[in-house]
Amino acid sequence: MAKSIDVSDLNIYYGDFLAVEGVNMTIRAKAVTAFIGPSGCGKSTFLRTLNRMHEVIPGARVEGKVVVSGQSLYDSSVDPVAVRRQIGMVFQRPNPFPTMSIYDNVIAGSKLNSKRLKKADADAIVEKSLRGANLWTEVKDRLSKPGMGLSGGQQQRLCIARAIAVEPDVLLMDEPCSALDPISTAAIEDLIQELKSEYTIVIVTHNMQQAARVSDDTGFFNLKATGEPGHLVEFNPTTKMFTNPDEESTEAYISGRFG
Amino acid sequence: MPRNKPVTSVGDTVFAGVARTAALAIMLALAGVFVFLFIEGFPGLSAPTDVYRPAEDFLSYVGPLVFGTIWAALVALIIAVPFAIGIALFISHYAPARLAVPIAYVIDLLAAVPSVVYGLWGGLALAQALKPVLVWLDTHLGFIPLFVGPASVTGRTMLTAAIVLAIMIVPIVTAISREIFAQTPRLHEEAAMALGATRWEMIRLAVFPYARSGVISAVMLGLGRALGETMAVAMVLSATQVVTLNLISDTNPATIASNIASNYKEASPDRQAVLIATGLVLFAVTFAVNFAARMVIARGERKIAR
């Protein structure tokens, strides 16, 4: 089930270094939320705190709250592994498991979650996920071939299929199209539009047109100054953001006057 | 018009020459060793029967030695590899940096200890310490052919030798495996973590598949060292001419290398030729094992690349 995310007063640290400061936002369920901003402003870092992937880096920690449908992710009783099972993630560069077939890649997460998986159930999950990622017709005849044999765009859709195979509540995407050509990018963007009927989607992008095309809400991150922590400048519906933003610096960034 | 020679710098030419010479030298050395073993050992292949005492001819003389060599190395590997991979994983993926660095350092130091020292320690300390263990194995696991009694009273058994060998090959297998584990692409590790893999599941999904062929190479290097190890085995093992899987008894097969080391000085020229011929066999065995291992690795990689 798609869920909404409430973030309040979130500070993100690497050791003593405050990377992102004071983020407040509500990410709506079954909608696409995009984060834009210049490089190094902390938008990817923030995205990674939403499924606790942030803390795989030694010394990384957060203060503040991230609440997904009433459950605080950073409660001491919450297992980060369980969080990541509910909040899937797609990365900047396609990263299918190199030694696995297409089939095994899709089923990898489900195998972790339930050790005993009937062949028929596994087949059903693979087909459903690949269809969900608009990849089924392209690969259905070569499921046993390695995932690395696909094109970059297909690999990225394979990674999306792998992420949705475990039926997460939320799907995080960290610049999912930055390593892809325009046609593959268009395929992923179409896919995002379809996925939002079932999932809450959060996407980081460097491409403002992409944010304008795919998202319902947009957050603009920026640095106050070099060396200062990143922060959320503005968070608004995408249409408002791209026509009549509240902040002058948002307007400046979107119209290309800096960044 | 004559064709111009491609432009090359002097430094480049010199370095290429040095590198080529070094590469040729190692090939020559290897060929030289083989030729020496062959010429010196050839008479040993068909010497008068009494030279092979207690055996009758060369094959029956070298047979138990070949068996002992491979058996000792194999048992050592079985003991060492799980340890080495465990240590390597601990250093690369579990331990905090302030623990991982000193542990890695100590492991590397272990590799620098001369084998005579391991031999002394194994023959005196470890053999003593293992005696009750051997008795226990005999009483409780005696039904397994590996542990048929009576247990050795000196403790100088195949098991003792294999443990010493295992300790000697752990560092090399650990060092290489650790290096490869640590090189696992972050992207693959994060792919596994983002699916909700625990640390161990992440290692199984991302680290092991990536490191597989490298770890096999590391194990083969360890196996090579175990096959050729001389002093430690010669000092630990009380050897006779037998073929037995028994790990805990007083009658053990010698290994080729340890047999040469213990007998060469006092041997007659005839006998020396026989020993050199066994050296030739060891050369061949090591070659065959390495070759087989490479075939296994190559096949595994083709399967992945398919």
Domains detected in chain B: 46-305 (1.10.3720.10)
The pLDDT, as a whole number, for residue B89 is 93
More confident residue, B49 or A100: A100
For residue A84, list chain B residues with Cβ-Cβ distance below 8 A: 193-197
Given CA atoms A176, A45, A254, A200 in this order, what sign does their dihedral have? positive
Residues of B in CB contact (< 8 Å) with A are 96-97, 185, 187-198, 201, 205-206, 209-210, 212, 304-306
Tokens found for residue B208: 């092991």
Q: Give backbone dihedrals phi and psi of A24, rounded to 5 degrees, phi first.
A: -125, 125
Given the candidates 3.40.920.10, 3.60.15.10, 3.30.499.10, 3.40.50.300, the CATH classification of the domain at A5-254 is: 3.40.50.300
Nearest by CB: A99 against B185, B201, B209: B209
Q: How far is A221 from chain B (nearest CA, A)?
A: 24
pLDDT at B306: 43
- Longest CA pairwise span in chain A (Å): 57
SS3 call for A35: strand
Predicted ipTM of the assembly: 0.86
Contacts of B64 (CB under 8 A, 6+ apart): B241, B242, B243, B253, B254
Q: How far is A148 from chain B (nearest CA, A)?
A: 9
Is the Cβ of A178 closer than 8 Å to some Cβ of chain B? no
> Which of A89, A98, A99 faces B194 most closely, judged by CB atoms?
A89
Mean pLDDT, chain A, integer: 89
Residues of B with Cβ-Cβ distance to A146 under 8 angstroms: 304-306
CB pairs under 8 A between A and B: 73
Within a 10 A sphere around the Cβ of A28, how many other Cβ atoms? Answer: 15
pLDDT tens digit at each of 306 positions of chain B? 566 777 778 888 999 999 999 999 999 999 998 898 888 888 888 877 777 777 778 888 888 888 888 888 999 999 999 999 999 999 998 888 888 889 988 988 888 888 888 888 888 888 888 888 888 888 888 788 778 777 777 878 888 889 999 999 999 999 999 999 999 998 899 999 998 888 899 998 899 988 988 898 888 888 888 888 888 888 888 777 777 888 777 778 888 888 888 888 887 888 888 888 888 888 888 888 888 877 877 776 665 554
To the nearest whole angstrom, how far is the Cα of B34 from the nearest Cα of chain A? 40
Distance spanning both ends of chain B, measured CA to CA: 50
Q: What Å distances lie between residue B82 and A220, B205, B219, B294, CA to CA?
A: 51, 18, 11, 21
The answer for residues whose C-beta is within 8 angstroms of residue B47's C-beta and 6 or more apart is B58, B270, B273, B274
CB–CB of B304 and A98 under 8 A?
A: yes
The reply to whether residue B194 touches residue A163, judged by beta carbons under 8 angstroms, is yes
Structural tokens at position B187: 């992207």
Query: Min CA distance, A259 vs chain B (Å)?
Result: 27
Report the distance separating Cα A41 and Cα A52, nearest Å. Answer: 19
Q: A81 and B191: CB-CB below 8 Å?
A: no
Decide: A174 and A48 in contact? Cβ < 8 Å: yes
Closest approach of A59 to chain B, Cα-based (Å): 11
Closest residue in B to A109 (Cα) is B195
**pLDDT at residue B56, rounded to an integer:** 79
CA distance to partner chain A, nearest, from residue B87 (Å): 20
Rounded to the nearest 10°, the torsion over CA B74, B79, B80, B81 is 80
Q: Determine whether the interchain pair B196/A85 forms a contact, defined as Cβ–Cβ distance below 8 Å.
A: yes
Identify the band that residue A115 occupies on the pLDDT scale cut at 50, 70 and 90.
low
Which residue from A93, A98, A112 is facing B209, i.e. has the nearest CB?
Answer: A98
Q: Do A56 and B195 touch (CB under 8 A)?
A: no
| Torsion over CA: B186, A190, A49, A88 (sign) | negative
Q: Using the predicted structure, report yes or no on whether residue A6 has a pLDDT greater than 60.
A: yes
Q: What letter does residue B3 receive in the DSSP assignment? A: P
Q: Which residue of A has its CA nearest to B191?
A: A95
B304 vs A109: CB contact, 8 Å cut-off? no
Write out residues 71-100 of A within 8 Å (CB-CB) of B. 81-82, 84-86, 88-89, 91, 93, 95-100
Residue A70 has pLDDT above 70, yes or no: yes
Q: Does A152 contact chain B (CB < 8 Å)?
A: no
Best A84, A87, A145, A175 residue to mutate vs chain B (most B CBs within 10 Å) = A84
- B115 φ/ψ angles, rounded to the nearest 5 degrees: -70, -25
Q: Do A88 and B195 touch (CB under 8 A)?
A: yes
Question: Is A212 a residue whose pLDDT tops 70?
Answer: yes
Chain A CB contacts of B190 under 8 Å are 53, 56, 89, 91, 95
